């Protein structure tokens, strides 16, 4: 018999806010309250099972189970488990403060939904509140159904129990009780409008089937065992119906009414024994403004849950994959802590990663439309793997989809494999160019010669793709080069349609430079000084007067631009200014250079052409000097026009 008496406590402020949202705004989602309470009961049974495995004194013969007991007369629904239970301190700590991520996450989403920041869900047309059901609301969901909630509990470590009571407004009380079986009974004193629905056994059965079929413990409604299906991941693929795959997905993800984009059912016996079902959701919630999802994979040992959010079983660039992995090679009493040192995990990760990447390659080949949908949603995450997973980078590179000059229809993409198939026989490099959008890339001076010679260029409008390709360096034995770099080698077979654009270095006929061209180069060189590494005759321009080339081995312009915006004190590499002797402006400057009086004007043109070329790469240099020079050049041009008129 305990001597302590009833004590009153006040909820943490965040809980008061949470309770307020729950009891008012989620009427249509309130069946998830049952899911949350069953899930908590299941967690508690998992904890007890783990303790029983390692500590003999807590073992007994009672089967672990969860029971839902509706009582229409008492207007209650009670969820009973014989798990670990809670001590008085645990009641205060766990049910009086928000210390766990699920409820906090929920609060954030609910606040966003209220503010109308998101207006569509995964299917693109329902209210955002349905999305909220995907986040663990936790124990407080009980107040969606109940006016008053009682928790009668006894911890496995104690002889006597406790009763926690609250009406969900601001306070709760705790008092000792003598008679309490081990575990917890959550008694929901149902709200008037919930009594009818949540005291009907058939209704509760259907909720349990919908949300809790795969809970790894027996769930009863009254006397009836409701979730008595075998775990589908241990069944042969041929025995599992599409409906079962779907409901397992919905159970794992909490994404009610959603079908996965694809699933992968794996089974292996040696050298590793495991079964697994992996799923890809149809949409990437991270693209819809939700923060990074941290779900991980569910890990089981011989069908018994070990961890429900293991993030070591797949690399980060596959973190969008949901699923379950069950291995008989894993000891049952393994804990989160000892798992980190378990040598099986890296082995499983290696196999699972390979299987997912192989499956994606197969999907791309056999169901290109589904793969395109997948890539649209998750390509941005996947491609990050090129830079971090050395072992699989070629496999990931094969999965990339990029825009290309081969087909410039907006949205059209190609793969590196397809590019290589279209390459000329004597082409040794894969060409790419980064820029802000397709329209600017098509107008980029560097592209001119490739366009004229019919050489395909990959257009990278997202710097992440460029980072991926620059990490990759090579694909299928061909080096990947940005066409604004000096490392470019054009195939001899790609003779320009007009011999004038074929450069000396490429083995074509040399461009005939007008008299005075060398003098122009000299004046440009002097004017630009340290700004550039060199000024030289262009070998790759058709009509533009100049272009800036990145010296051998340095980063592409686009990457430098991104880094200069993000890295403090980033030094742009000095580039080479290539001057096109065939451009009318350069021809005219060459003629003017015969008289020394035009040197200043030619120097100004050189500086201005350099500033404009940098501008095309999105970089603004010396804005004050550039603006002054522009004004001066315009004044000169205006004066000339005045002379002509008068
Ligand atoms: N039936 C139960 N038996 C024992 N402890 C429980 C039970 N239900 C809840 N708890 C305790 O209360 C805590 C808070 O539960 P709640 O459902 O709000 O969050 P959670 O399950 O920890 O987190 P999340 O919902 O984010 O996964 C749990 O972590 C657990 O310690």
Give pLDDT, residue 105. 65
Stretch 165-190: mean pLDDT, rounded? 94
Lowest-pLDDT range of 194-203, 228-237, 347-356, 408-417: 228-237
Atom of ligand 1 nearest to the CA of 98: 18
| Geometric angle at alpha carbon 65, from 62 and 69, rounded to 5° | 120
What's the pLDDT at 552?
A: 79
pLDDT at position 17 over 60: yes
Place of tokens 């198939």: 421
Q: Which of 37, 40, 149 to mutate to test the pocket of ligand 1 (most atoms within 8 A of CB)?
A: 40
Lowest mean pLDDT across 16-20, 138-142, 162-166, 516-520: 16-20
- Which ligand 1 atom is at minimum distance from the Cα of 137? 25
Token pair recorded at residue 540: 């790759």
**Between 339 and 196, residue with greater pLDDT:** 196
DSSP category for residue 485: B
Please name which of 143, 165, 140, 139 lies closest in space to residue 152, comparing C-alpha atoms.
Answer: 165
DSSP 38-59: HHHHHHHHHHHHHHHHH-GGG-
- What's the pLDDT tens digit per position in 451-461? 999 999 999 99
Average pLDDT of the chain is 87
Q: Is the pLDDT of residue 92 over 50?
A: yes
pLDDT of residue 36: 87
Taking CA atoms only, the protein residue closest to ligand 1 atom 22 is: 100
Looking at per-residue confidence, does 394 or 31 come out higher? 394
Pocket test residue of 94, 108, 135, 144 for ligand 1, highest count of atoms within 8 A of CB: 94
Q: Which protein residue's CA is at the shortest distance from atom 10 of ligand 1?
A: 40
CA 153 – CA 183 distance, rounded (Å): 6
Q: Is the CB of 103 under 6 A from ligand 1?
A: yes
Q: Per-residue pLDDT for 505 more than 50?
A: no
- CATH 3.40.50.11260 residue window(s) in the chain: 400-639
- 619 confidence band (pLDDT: 50, 70, 90): confident
CATH 3.30.230.80 segments of the chain: 232-372
Q: What angle do CA 63, 145, 168 make, to 5 degrees?
A: 100
**Class of the domain covering 400-639:** alpha beta
Average pLDDT of the residues in 626-643:
88
CA distance 255 to 249: 8
Over residues 624-634, the pLDDT tens digits come to 999 999 999 99
Domain 7-225 coded CATH 3.30.565.10: yes
Identity of the highest mean pLDDT range in 127-141, 300-314, 421-435:
421-435
470 lines ligand 1 (CB under 6 A): no
In terms of pLDDT, which residue wins out, 112 or 180?
180
Indicate which atom in ligand 1 lies nearest the CA of residue 186: 1
Summarize pLDDT for 514-562 with one digit per residue, the tens.
Answer: 999 999 999 999 999 999 999 999 977 888 999 999 887 778 888 888 8
* 138 marked as part of a ligand binding site: yes
Cβ(254) to ligand 1 under 6 A? no
Ligand 1 centroid to 40 CA: how many Å?
A: 5
Atom of ligand 1 nearest to the CA of 136: 25
Q: Is 336 annotated as a binding residue?
A: yes
More confident residue, 256 or 359: 359
| Reported ipTM exceeds the 0.85 cut | yes
Q: CATH 3.30.565.10: which residues of the chain?
A: 7-225
Question: Does residue 240 carry a pLDDT above 50?
Answer: yes
Share of the chain above pLDDT 90, in %: 57
Nearest CA to 279 out of 294, 299, 259 is that of 259
Question: Is 101 a pocket residue for ligand 1 (Cβ < 6 Å)?
Answer: yes
Per-residue confidence (pLDDT) for residue 122, from 0 to 100: 38
Q: How far is it, in rounded angstroms, from Cα 452 to Cα 505?
A: 17
Mutation choice for ligand 1 from 66, 89, 138, CB with most ligand atoms inside 8 A: 138
Q: Of all protein residues, whose CA lies closest to atom 11 belonging to ligand 1? A: 94
Q: Which residues pair with 7 in a beta bridge?
A: 174
CB-CB neighbours of 252 under 10 Å:
19
Per-residue pLDDT tens digits for 251-284: 888 887 899 999 999 999 988 999 999 999 999 9
Mean pLDDT, range 223-242, rounded to an integer: 90
Give the number of other Cβ atoms within 10 Å of residue 509's Cβ: 13
Q: Residue 508: pLDDT band by 50, 70, 90 thresholds?
A: very low
The closest alpha carbon to 497, from 457, 544, 539, 450, belongs to: 450
- What is the band of 570 on the pLDDT scale with cuts at 50, 70, 90? confident
Residues 575 and 589: their CA atoms lie apart, in Å, by 22
Q: Name the fold adopted by 232-372.
A: Ribosomal Protein S5; domain 2 (3.30.230)
**Degrees (nearest 5) of the Cα angle 480, 481, 483?**
145
By three-state DSSP, how is residue 461 classified?
coil
């Amino acid at each position: 018999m305990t001597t302590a008496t009833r004590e009153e406590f006040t909820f943490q402020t965040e809980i008061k806010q949470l309770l307020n949202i729950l009891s008012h705004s989620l009427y249509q989602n309130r069946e998830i309250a049952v899911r949350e309470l069953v899930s908590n009961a299941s967690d508690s049974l998992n904890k007890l099972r783990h303790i029983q495995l390692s500590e003999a004194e807590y073992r007994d013969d009672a089967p672990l189970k969860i029971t839902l007991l509706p009582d229409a007369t008492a207007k209650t629904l009670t969820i009973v488990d014989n798990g670990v239970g809670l001590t008085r301190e645990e009641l205060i700590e766990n049910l009086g403060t928000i210390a766990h991520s699920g409820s906090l996450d929920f609060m954030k989403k609910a606040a966003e939904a209220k503010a109308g920041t998101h207006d569509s869900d995964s299917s693109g047309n329902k209210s955002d509140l349905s999305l909220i059901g995907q986040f663990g609301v936790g124990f407080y969901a009980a107040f969606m159904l109940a006016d008053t909630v009682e928790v009668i509990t006894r911890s496995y470590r104690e002889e006597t129990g406790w009763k926690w009571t609250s009406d969900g407004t601001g306070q709760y009380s705790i008092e000792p009780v003598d008679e309490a079986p081990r575990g917890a009974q959550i008694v929901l004193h149902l709200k008037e409008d919930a009594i009818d629905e949540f005291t009907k056994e058939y209704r509760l059965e259907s909720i349990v089937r919908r949300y809790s079929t795969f809970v790894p413990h027996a769930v009863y409604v009254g006397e009836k065992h409701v979730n008595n299906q075998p775990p589908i991941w241990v069944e042969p693929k041929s025995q599992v119906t599409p409906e079962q795959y779907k409901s397992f997905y919905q159970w794992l993800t909490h994404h009610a009414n959603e079908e996965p984009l694809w699933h992968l059912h794996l089974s292996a016996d040696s050298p590793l024994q495991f079964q697994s079902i992996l799923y890809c959701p149809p949409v990437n919630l991270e693209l819809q403004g939700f923060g990074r999802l941290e779900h991980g994979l569910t890990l089981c040992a011989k069908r018994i849950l070990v961890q429900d959010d293991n993030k070591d079983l797949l690399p980060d660039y596959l973190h969008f994959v949901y699923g379950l992995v069950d291995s008989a090679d894993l000891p049952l009493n393994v804990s989160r802590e000892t798992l980190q040192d378990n040598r099986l995990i890296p082995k499983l990760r290696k196999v699972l990663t390979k299987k997912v990447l192989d499956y994606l390659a197969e999907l791309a080949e056999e169901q290109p439309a589904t793969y395109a949908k997948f890539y649209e949603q998750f390509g941005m995450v996947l491609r990050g793997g090129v830079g971090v997973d050395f072992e699989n980078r070629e496999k990931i590179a094969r999965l990339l989809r990029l825009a290309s000059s081969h087909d410039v229809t907006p949205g059209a993409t190609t793969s590196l494999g397809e590019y290589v198939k279209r390459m000329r026989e004597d082409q040794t490099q894969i060409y790419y160019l980064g820029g802000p959008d397709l329209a600017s890339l098509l107008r980029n001076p560097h592209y001119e010669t490739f366009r004229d010679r019919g050489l395909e260029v990959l257009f990278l409008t997202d710097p992440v793709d460029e980072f991926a390709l620059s990490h990759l360096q090579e694909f299928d034995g061909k080096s990947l080069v940005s066409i604004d770099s000096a490392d470019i080698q054009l195939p001899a077979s790609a003779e320009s349609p007009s011999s004038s654009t074929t450069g000396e270095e490429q083995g074509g006929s040399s461009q005939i430079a007008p008299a005075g061209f060398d003098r122009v180069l000299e004046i440009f060189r002097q004017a630009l000084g340290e700004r550039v590494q060199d000024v030289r005759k262009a070998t790759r321009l058709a009509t533009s007067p100049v272009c800036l080339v990145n010296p051998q081995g340095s980063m592409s312009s686009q990457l430098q631009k991104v880094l200069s915006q993000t890295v403090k004190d980033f030094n742009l590499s000095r580039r080479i200014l290539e001057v096109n002797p065939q451009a009318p402006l350069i021809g005219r400057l060459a003629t003017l250079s015969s008289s020394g009086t035009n040197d200043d004007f030619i120097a100004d043109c050189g500086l201005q052409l350099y500033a404009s070329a940098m501008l095309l790469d999105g970089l603004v240099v010396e804005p004050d000097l550039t603006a002054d020079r522009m004004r001066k050049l315009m004044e000169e041009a205006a004066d000339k026009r005045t002379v002509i008129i008068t």
